[in-house]
Amino acid sequence: MIYASTKIVRIPSLNRQKIQIPANFSGLNNLYKILDTVEKESNYSVGQWATEITPWDNLVEHGRSVFGEHWVFFHIANIASGIKSKSETCKGFSELFDRSVSLCRRARYARLRSGTASYWQKLFQQADDLIDKMFAILLITTWGSKKTLEQFASSIDNYLKNLSLEDWQRLYKSVEESVSITQQSNTRVIIFNVKLLPEILDPRTVTLLSIRSNHPKDLYSRYINDINEYDETDLYVLQHWQDVAIELLGEAQISWQSALNIISKSYMKGVVSERYAYQKFIRIVSTDSLPDDIANKIARQPEHYPGFLVAAAEAKCRNIVASKIVKVGEIARRDKWFST
């Protein structure tokens, strides 16, 4: 079985002995070892994967023993820590940065302390290695309670703004995927009290907090100037806030002009629209809500805006023109063409 995005593709069993010309490259044997582990652990049921740490632990620990400390294993451990179990408390794994013991069990222990401020305070004081800092931020951002995230926003901010672009984007993707997988529960929904957050936060920090937020309008309103003045070319930050702006626009929570600024900036910085972006956009935002002056502005400078927005503006402009057309019959009656 091959897992790709949300689809599962089933293929016949592969027998290496029957492959006449096997691939030959450095690390092939290590790859075979991992595939053997994946095949073995796939015998666990879905229910076991959802409630037991063992299959996750077996997979990650074997991977670490073969390939070392790579980010993918921290990513998997973070997701594994969210299993639904009252017995898997992993109390013997309280030291998150002790690499001599199970990574998944360390993550599980941390996840169960999502609201314990003293635990996270200790972690931020201990974190020294780059990957340890990233792992701590991944865990607290994915699982931290509302109060915990509000309290440690400054600590998170200090780490994030110093990450390289590559490390930041790696962390962002992990947080986004982890939260999307685990956000079904109502306990995972957060509405931040923005008054308790620092007055100034790096756009990276606001972006990660927004991923956990069920009401991004508050974050948007609080940090709109920082977002609008963001002059980097980080497509992850720009894409995220473009999506938020469109969502808020569809809910009539922000003005068209405010949304236009972010959408245009994102596009000009290099954010590329996904396939069927126009169809998705008009399902969220009615073109009827597009003000005439904004539609004309977009139509006059189409090079400043993504295709889906230009298409929406053109549709609105056509409607404007059509609404001003007077039917021939009405003109005839008005001008008395056929009166005698």
Q: Of 311 and 333, which is predicted with more confidence?
A: 311
CA 61/CA 64 separation, integer angstroms:
5
pLDDT score for 335: 77
Residue pLDDT, tens place only, 237-246: 999 999 999 9
Q: Of 111 and 11, which is predicted with more confidence?
A: 111
Q: Look up the pTM and report it.
A: 0.84
Residue pLDDT, tens place only, 127-175: 999 999 999 999 999 999 999 999 999 999 999 999 999 999 999 999 9
pLDDT score for 26: 66
pLDDT score for 25: 64
Check residue 267 and give left, alpha or beta (phi > 0: left; psi -120 to 50: alpha). alpha
Residue pLDDT, tens place only, 271-307: 998 888 999 999 999 888 999 999 999 999 999 999 9
**Quick one: pLDDT band at residue 224, thresholds 50, 70, 90?**
confident
Whether residue 242 contacts residue 272, with contact meaning beta carbons closer than 8 Å, is answered with: no
Residue 278, both tokens = 């126009």
Instruction: Specify the range with the lowest mean pLDDT, choosing from 56-60, 110-114, 198-202, 317-321.
Output: 317-321
Spell out the long-range contacts of 160-164 with Cβ–Cβ below 8 A and sequence spacing 24 or more: 160/202, 160/204, 160/205, 160/208, 161/202, 161/204, 161/205, 163/134, 163/204
pLDDT score for 27: 73
pLDDT score for 121: 97
- Over range 227-237, report the average pLDDT: 84
**Quick one: pLDDT band at residue 3, thresholds 50, 70, 90?**
very low
